[in-house]
Amino acid sequence: MSIYQQYFALSCEPFSIVPDPGFLYPSSQHRQAVAHLKYGLDREGGFVLLTGEVGTGKTTLTRTLIKRLPAHVRVAYVLNSTFDAADVLASICQELGIKLPKSSKTSLTKNCVDALNADLIESHAEGKKTLVVIEEAQNLSPEVLEILRLLSNLETATHKLLHILLVGQPELLETLAQKDQRQLNQRVVARFHLLPLEKTDVANYVNHRLHHAGANRAIFESSAMTALFKLTQGVPRLINLICHHAMLAAYATGAKTVSAKLVKAAAVEIFDIEKPKQKSSGRLGWSLVFCAVVALLVGVAFYADQLPSKTSINTQSVEVPVKPDSSNEVVTQPIIEELESLPLIVEVESEEIVLEPKLEAEPVVFETPEPPVFNNPFTALFAFWSVEIEPLFSEEEVYSVAAENELGAEKLNNLLLSELIELDRVGIVWVRDDNRLKSYVLTAIDSGSVNLQGVKGERQETLEWLAENWNGTFLYLWHRPIDILSLRLGDKNALALGWLQSRLLQIDDIYQPIITGGYFNEAVRLQVLNFQQKQGIRADGVVGQQTIMKINELTMSSLPRLNKTVAERAKI
């Protein structure tokens, strides 16, 4: 447990550099990356590329993708890209559980290729797909790249048998652009280059990780977020490092929030940034912290030797921020957990602060937690239907989650604004904003204005603004009862017919239920046709999505609708 976890009432370490998929911040760029990668994996074999600078989150994104793959996809995950060709092949076989002959007169490379080919053919016959993931692919030698290209040739008469995902730094793109790699480069079916977070995403990234770690309030001040972006340029790994040390400094100084001052001080210690001479005492302060802790350790250890044997002192290991040496290693020193010694004096930018270490202090409790940060439009859309889910990264997942919760999901393209208003459902729109296409949850339309929910919170715009900047795409949810998509003449579905007749009776108390024997007969079709004509919707006698949605509007007061005025009148 980090030394500040209890102080900030956190359940786990929020800024670990371990690539935990649970902490992945689903920015618009990450959603695009997942969509590109899934598109590549849906193709019939070939190479898929994911590139990005050091620390931009490639491994976290890759592990998130693997975690979300369906059960019929097998994965061979190769971490060591410095292996030679034979070792890479052996690693792939080992990951897939392929047994190699114990002794053979042929080479290891041939044994691996033959065994892999036979296994892929067998797996393909069973309806399985195989994905090979290679990390740090910029280190792959030309010989290994050629072997991988040859593996991509494994196929049946109609299907490729293998997908290969190469994850690496930008140097990988330079390697594949070389003339001798043009054959492999031409087999790349999808590629995505992951960039650092934008300035507007940094605060959401930090708050997302804190919220996932159990924080019930904002811990970093807004000025600290600005400083974070300037210092890291949006690189997630650097953000994690600075945030970790800044929270440790906040704990050490007794601060309840992390200021820009603490963020800058943490960056000085991590990156060895030169400070003006008049502010040089900041570094001295951290050095004094370290020296004081070491001195206390020596003193207490000496004192502990003089205590009776029944006396015990609890210790734990914690990372103490010090100026890193040339190897960039973090110095770890033990710290005493139950000290009752003299106050520790720390100097921070010429200000003397006296602290008493209280490592057993009760966690700080805050009575007014801030609402969770909007960082995933799909998750926010489901929240309007009281469905709490983890962040989603593709529309396929939206459809799947919707079906699990008696909902339908539909994405419309080239929709007119008048059709959107008539549809009257909360949903996701894609609009041109700041020269970029951004997604917002459209939550209300009223009196010529629209309400949008985005990464910066709620915003209000005019209908004219929406008409000018919206690209005509709309994704929405609707209540799909008892798993029916449509009912038409001749269908047998007693449960669905029971729902239909009970709702029609709820709408019109003079409605006369019909005995159908579980069949959608002509008498029911005529009643449906009459209902459609009265409501001004397509009159075809079929209980389809439009008819179901109209029935829901008239019988369910809690539907997430855009036109609040109409919705309130419906309740009356």
pLDDT, tens digit, for every residue of 421-432?
988 999 999 999
Q: pLDDT value at position 136?
A: 92
The DSSP call for residue 326 is T
Residue 561 lies in a domain: no
Residue 506 lies in a domain: yes
Q: Report helix, strand or coil for 481.
A: helix
252 and 104, same structural domain?
Answer: no
524 and 415, same structural domain?
Answer: no
383 and 308, same structural domain?
Answer: no
Written as one string, the DSSP assignment of 21-44 is GGG----HHHHHHHHHHHHHHHSS
The most confident of 50-54, 214-218, 291-295, by mean pLDDT: 50-54
445 and 322, same structural domain?
Answer: no
396 and 526, same structural domain?
Answer: no
Q: Strand 46-52 to strand 188-194: parallel, antiparallel, or no bridges (unpaired)?
A: parallel
What residues have CB less than 8 Å from 70, skipping those under 6 apart? none
Q: How far apart are CA 79 and CA 133, in angstroms?
A: 8
Backbone angles phi, psi at 83, to 5 degrees: -65, 160
Q: pLDDT value at position 567?
A: 40
Of 257-261, 324-328, 371-375, 510-514, the range with the lowest mean pLDDT is: 324-328
Dihedral sign for Cα atoms in the order 553, 559, 565, 570: positive
Contact 239, 247 (CB under 8 A): no
Residue 190 lies in a domain: yes
Q: pLDDT value at position 564?
A: 59
Q: How far apart are CA 293 and CA 300, in angstroms?
A: 10
Contact 339, 357 (CB under 8 A): yes
Q: How far apart are CA 179 and CA 189, in angstroms?
A: 18
Of 19-23, 263-267, 307-311, 523-527, the range with the lowest mean pLDDT is: 307-311
Contact 290, 305 (CB under 8 A): no
Q: How far apart are CA 265 and CA 275, in angstroms?
A: 10
How many independent structural domains does the chain possess? 4
529 and 417, same structural domain?
Answer: no
- Find the DSSP H helices in 332-483: 377-383, 395-404, 417-423, 463-469
Model confidence, pTM: 0.56
Q: Is the pLDDT of residue 316 over 90?
A: no
What CATH number should be reported for the domain holding residue 471? 3.90.70.10
Q: pLDDT value at position 483?
A: 58
In this prediction, what percent of the chain has a pLDDT beyond 90? 22
Q: Strand 449-454 to strand 457-462: parallel, antiparallel, or no bridges (unpaired)?
A: antiparallel
Q: How far apart are CA 19 and CA 25, in angstroms?
A: 12
Chain center to CA of 66 = 13
What's the average model confidence in pLDDT over 464-468? 92
Residue 371 lies in a domain: no
Q: Report helix, strand or coil for 72.
A: coil
**One-letter identity of residue 91:** S
Residue 287 lies in a domain: yes
275 and 206, same structural domain?
Answer: yes
Question: What is the average pLDDT value for the chain, to the nearest integer?
Answer: 78
Q: pLDDT value at position 485?
A: 65
Last-in-domain residue among 177, 194, 211: 194
Contact 193, 51 (CB under 8 A): yes
Dihedral sign for Cα atoms in the order 315, 316, 321, 324: positive
Query: Directed axis angle between helix 281-306 and helix 260-271, to 10°?
Result: 80
Q: Is the pLDDT of residue 331 over 70?
A: no
Residue 234 lies in a domain: yes
Domain that holds residue 349: 200-355
316 and 211, same structural domain?
Answer: yes
214 and 179, same structural domain?
Answer: no
Q: Is the pLDDT of residue 470 over 70?
A: yes
Residues constituting the chain: 572
What CATH number should be reported for the domain holding residue 498? 1.10.101.10
Residue 7 lies in a domain: no
Q: pLDDT value at position 375?
A: 59
Q: Is the pLDDT of residue 565 over 50?
A: no
251 and 182, same structural domain?
Answer: no
Q: Kindly list the distances between the CA atom of residue 138 and the CA atoms of 145, 201, 292, 296, in Å, as whole numbers in the listed order.
A: 10, 28, 44, 47
210 and 175, same structural domain?
Answer: no
Q: Kindly list the distances between the CA atom of residue 361 and the CA atoms of 7, 152, 313, 357, 364, in Å, as whole numbers in the listed order.
A: 7, 59, 17, 9, 9
Last-in-domain residue among 454, 479, 504: 479
Last-in-domain residue among 169, 194, 219: 194
143 and 238, same structural domain?
Answer: no
Residue 569 lies in a domain: no
Q: Which of 511, 514, 491 is nearest to 503 (CA)?
A: 511
Contact 29, 171 (CB under 8 A): no
Q: Which of 517, 515, 543, 518 is nearest to 529 (CA)?
A: 543
Q: pLDDT value at position 294?
A: 44
Place of tokens 């600078």: 53
